[in-house]
Amino acid sequence: MMNTQFELQDNGVIVPLSNGPKYFNYYWLRDASNTSIDPQTRERIFDVSQLPTAPKATDLSIKDDVLTINWDAEDTPSEVPISLLESVATTGRAEDVAAIPRKVWYNGHLPNIPRIPQAEVINTAAGRAKLTRALIEDGIAIVSDMEPTEESLPNLVKAIGPVTPSGEGLFFNVRVEIEPTNLAFTAGPLEMHTDLPGEEAAPGVQFLHCLENTVDGGLSLFLDGVAVAMALKEEDPDAFEMLAAHKIPFFYRHDKIDYRSHQRVIETDQDGNVTGVTISQHLQDNMDLPQDLLDRYYPAFIKFIRMMQEDRFLLKFKSEAGNCVVFDNHRIVHGREGYVADSGSRHLRGCYTDRAAMRSTYRIASKSA
């Protein structure tokens, strides 16, 4: 392609692409050049702040899906893959295999939850790809046939990402305790919540390994917080806006811990799409929004909490020994029905990893799966 097809401007150039002409800034093109990345470390070795003058193209050409740019103040031309330009022109970003759209789900989702045996996750890329893809799309999956050992949960998590510590350490146990520090450690019902909203950034992916469950009752409850938030947006846009716009305080405290943090109940991205939810009435502090704003905030908040109790969203099942439920802690809201403490034993072991680590595992595993 000859220079005539490019429209050179002061700060950038219009490049002809398959979807039509698209403007690219010269700094961006210089920064995106193949020569900016070290082929061995794959890290950026070009420092845009070291350019003595603003980059300016003198001529451009396209050959074999590569855009070559000659600069007026540099001897070496830059090469930028056309595939990158096409992707940025279409989505605003480089291509990402992990950028899979969420699939919202409702109360009938139980038979569709992917179940992957633990050995498959640990030993095969296909197993890891299947689990992490489910976590990106549905936000929930079940790892079955867990080895009934102490090392079983750490071995599973390691296959997906490093364990994210919480205020309580690396691993926690959910069972009846004599002096509970958390409602989870009693036999009472546990209302719908996401974990650890009092931390600056709540852990992204939660694992709950059921080691034993012979009690009467104690059904596990899960719902897709994105589905509820989208339904609220549809049914009461003002209430949705309230919960998406304002942060409220959460805490986590006992004798040796006093975490405090503010979170939005509904998280949205720059386009207004719901990306997650944060909810936990038992770890919610006294609201500190202006009192007159609370006149409108509380009704919206209550509406959202009541919606989360509606059957259309709720998934109920009994946690079975040998299964590990894995879910996105910024999206999937979970709880538990009460149970009869002396009717048997119930013991879950849990921990967290990071969502970025989980997506990284998907990118790598899906390549070789």
Query: For binding to Fe ion (CB under 5 A), which residues are involved?
Result: 195
Strand partners, 169: 166
Q: Are 70 and 59 in contact (CB under 8 A)?
A: yes
CB of 308 to Fe ion, least distance (A): 14
Nearer to Fe ion, 195 or 199 (CB): 195
Task: Determine which helix (DSSP H) or strand (DSSP E) holds 138, and give its type and residue range.
Answer: none
CB of 329 to Fe ion, least distance (A): 8
CA dihedral (179, 335, 158, 197) in degrees, to 10, reads -80
At 134, phi and psi to the nearest 5? -60, -40
Strand partners, 323: none
Nearer to Fe ion, 24 or 352 (CB): 352
Nearer to Fe ion, 233 or 346 (CB): 346
Cα 249 to Cα 261: distance, rounded to the nearest angstrom: 6
CB of 255 to Fe ion, least distance (A): 21
CA dihedral (13, 19, 20, 23) in degrees, to 10, reads -20
CB of 257 to Fe ion, least distance (A): 16
Tell me which residue of 351, 360, 308, 299 sits closest to 331, measured CA to CA.
308
Nearer to Fe ion, 307 or 351 (CB): 351
CB of 231 to Fe ion, least distance (A): 23
Cα 168 to Cα 256: distance, rounded to the nearest angstrom: 10
CB of 126 to Fe ion, least distance (A): 30
Please report, as a single letter, which amino acid is at residue 78: S
Degrees to nearest 5, angle at CA 226 with 129 and 264: 115
Nearer to Fe ion, 195 or 267 (CB): 195
Q: Are 82 and 95 in contact (CB under 8 A)?
A: no
CB of 133 to Fe ion, least distance (A): 24
Nearer to Fe ion, 78 or 261 (CB): 261
Cα 356 to Cα 361: distance, rounded to the nearest angstrom: 9
Nearer to Fe ion, 152 or 206 (CB): 206
Q: Are 275 and 99 in contact (CB under 8 A)?
A: no
